[in-house]
Amino acid sequence: MAKAAKTAIKKDPKQAADSKNYTKVIKAIRSPKSGAYTFKEQIVHKDKVKEFLAQK
């Protein structure tokens, strides 16, 4: 049996509250040469998600 991982976020309530304001965004980008899709991942503030998805 594996043990459950404990995170450092639980120790600092201020850090835990701040971390809830960020989200991981994954954007599919199509290659102009091959037509294949690649994925761009980034962790951004929840207020900046639309800006990240709008940029090319």
What average pLDDT does the structure give for the chain? Answer: 84
**pLDDT single digits (tens) 26-50:** 999 999 999 999 999 999 999 999 9
- Buried (b) or exposed (e) across 28-46, using 16+ Cβ within 10 A? eeeeeeeeeeeeeeeeeee
pLDDT recorded at residue 43: 94
> Whose structure tokens read 């049996």?
1
